[in-house]
Structure 1
Amino acid sequence: MDVLINVFVALHVIGIASLLGGFLTQMKAIGAGTARFTPAMLHGALTMLVTGIALVGLNQADDQAVNNLKIGIKLAILVVILGIVYVKRDEETVDKGLFGAVGGLTTANIFIATLWV
């Protein structure tokens, strides 16, 4: 079971990298006001959602403790990110504040995952 959990953790990290990487590669575009949500950002967020749900189920099946409050907060943040990216995915440019919010929420999700014990 540990190997399967670690595979899903790796896939979860790949999803995070895709979402945050899409944000970070457009730092110049944010300043110029031409930033947009890329398909990789949407796919990364969806990967995070699917693998996160799988990880909760696998950890519970393995009788490991799951912090439901932490998972609930991370899920709520991810749903907001997904909503923003999904709705604005076809627009040529996205407002700086909205684009920055996705980057900030993604970073917050990473810090919650790593610092909240």
Structure 2
Amino acid sequence: MNVLIHLFVGLHIIGIAALLGGFLTQMKAMRSGEVRMVPAMLHGALTMLATGIVLVGLSQAQHEQINTIKIGIKLALLVVILGLVYVKRDEERVEKAALATVGALTATNIFIAVLWT
């Protein structure tokens, strides 16, 4: 079971990398106003959602204590991120504030995962 959990943690990290990487690739475009939500951001957010749900399920299957407040906050942030990316994905140009919000919420989500024990 531990191998399966580690596999999904790895996939979760890949999702985070895709979302954050998509944001970082658009940082230079913020100066010129050509900002857009790249497909990697949507795929990364969806990967994070799916693997996060599986990880919570696997943890519950092992009767581990789950911090539901932490998971709830992380899920809420991810739903906002996913909503922004999904709604703005087909627009040729996106407001800088929308992209900055996605980046800030992604970084917040990462810090919650790492620092909240």
Provide TM-score, normalisation by structure 1: 0.98
Paired with 2:45 and 2:6, the residues of 1 have a C-alpha distance of 19
- Tell me the SS of whatever aligns to 1:55: helix
Over the matched positions of the two proteins, sequence identity in percent amounts to: 68
Structure 1 gap ranges (5+): none
CA RMSD of aligned residues (A): 0.5
Structure 1 window deviating more from structure 2 (25-34 vs 49-58): it is: 25-34
1:20 equivalent in structure 2: 20
The answer as to 2:106 corresponding to 1:109 is: no
Q: Which runs of 4+ in 1 moved over 4 A?
A: none
Paired with 2:32 and 2:67, the residues of 1 have a C-alpha distance of 41
Offset at residue 66 of structure 1 (A): 0.8
The answer as to 2:111 corresponding to 1:100 is: no
**Aligned AA (1:42):** L
Paired with 1:86 and 1:11, the residues of 2 have a C-alpha distance of 21
Offset at residue 26 of structure 1 (A): 1.4
Paired with 2:88 and 2:27, the residues of 1 have a C-alpha distance of 18
**Aligned AA (1:6):** H
Structure 2 gap ranges (5+): none
Offset at residue 47 of structure 1 (A): 0.2
Alignment of 1:17-96 (within 5 A): 17-96=17-96
In the alignment of these two chains, the number of paired residues is 117
Offset at residue 30 of structure 1 (A): 1.1
Provide TM-score, normalisation by structure 2: 0.98
